Amino acid sequence: HRCKSTDQGFGFFTEDLTIQTQNRVRLENQLRQALLHKEFHLVFQPRIDLTTGQVKGVEALLRWVRSDGKMVSPADFIPVLEEMGLITSVGEWVLLRACHYASQWVKQGYNLEISVNLSARQLKQPKLVEMIERCLTLTGLPAEHLELELTETSMLEEVEYSIEQLQKVRALGIKIAIDDFGTGYSSLAYLKRLPVNTLKIDRAFVKELEQDSNDINIVRAITQLAHSLQLSVTAEGIETPRQLALLKSLGCNEGQGFLLAKPMTEVDLLHHIKHFDMALLMPVDSPD
């Protein structure tokens, strides 16, 4: 009965599309409910200095637990929020919450930066800089403790406007990282013009580092390029001690990944920082 909606003989496709459309409408309705019923929260994943093992900062990651208890991945719902035009308000909520937490940590004496992901749509938002300033003022977080992560693709969508916006953001003292570096349309010509501080090497290059010498060469090249442009390098998705050792020996400055720490609630984060000595995880010698 796959063909029940067919008149023209396209039934197979029509029905699949109908189901897709129904699922999509349901997801959109659930997201509207989620906003009303406050089903979103933030978790935090530590970002570690690969030389000292110190926690330099944490990345805020959005979580959605539906009313039925199921978790939905941000990779699945953020693009939908973007298309629904809701990402600017959700993004503002994320930034305000993230700055609020970070400001508490700084007041308690933790020297931590908070990294917040911004979507392409947010970068095009005309009042972005004012919105960010408002979050800092409302929470009392010093600008130097905030880093914004954007993908290359979103920065290059309207590149001149992006550069202008990011320059204003940087002028406030906020840091900027290129997220998922190496997977978008990386244009080296733009890299020198984008006002960024950090390249975050995508997990795709870290995943098979141990097996694939091409990935080693790519990471080495990215790191050398970044350092020659005075940029810092963070590696994402470190899951094994060998990956950690390789990335450290290739010159990556900082690292993030399940091996070092998973994303966690703010209560767990403070406990983690107090009780875990990450330096113990750091490799002593360079592997060869």
What b/e string do you get for 162-178 counting C-beta neighbours within 10 Å, with b at 16 or more?
bbebbebbbeeebbbbb
117 binds ligand C2E (CB under 6 A): yes
Choose among ligand C2E, Mg ion, none what residue 129 binds, the Cβ cut-off being 5 to 8 Å by kind.
none
127-133 contacts, C-beta under 8 A, 24 or more apart: 128/165, 128/169, 129/165, 129/168, 129/169, 129/172, 131/92, 131/95, 132/95, 132/169, 132/172, 132/174, 133/172
Among 180, 215, 254, 266, binds Mg ion (CB under 5 A): 180
Give the chain's radius of gyration (CA, Å). 21
The contacts of residue 64 (CB under 8 Å, 6+ apart) are: 34, 39, 40, 71, 72, 74, 77
Choose among Mg ion, ligand C2E, none what residue 34 binds, the Cβ cut-off being 5 to 8 Å by kind.
none
Nearer to Mg ion, 34 or 58 (CB): 58
Among 50, 61, 169, 252, binds ligand C2E (CB under 6 A): 61
Region from 128-136, 165-173, 208-216, 232-240 binding ligand C2E, contact rule CB under 6 A: 232-240
The contacts of residue 142 (CB under 8 Å, 6+ apart) are: 106, 136, 173
CA distance 212 to 217: 9
119 binds ligand C2E (CB under 6 A): yes
Query: Could you tell me the two tokens for 95?
Result: 């930034």
Instruction: Tell me, by CB under 5 A, how many residues bind Mg ion.
Output: 5
258 binds ligand C2E (CB under 6 A): yes
Closest CB 62 distance from ligand C2E, rounded Å: 4
78 binds ligand C2E (CB under 6 A): yes
180 binds ligand C2E (CB under 6 A): yes
Choose among ligand C2E, Mg ion, none what residue 74 binds, the Cβ cut-off being 5 to 8 Å by kind.
ligand C2E
Closest CB 187 distance from Mg ion, rounded Å: 19
Choose among ligand C2E, Mg ion, none what residue 62 binds, the Cβ cut-off being 5 to 8 Å by kind.
ligand C2E
Q: Which residue has the tokens 């805020």?
A: 60
Burial (Cβ within 10 Å: 0-12, 13-18, ≥19) of residue 93: middle
Residues that bind ligand C2E (CB under 6 A): 45, 61-62, 73-75, 78, 91, 94, 117-119, 149, 179-180, 203, 236-239, 256-258, 263
The residues that touch Mg ion, with contacts defined as CB under 5 A, are: 117, 149, 179-180, 236
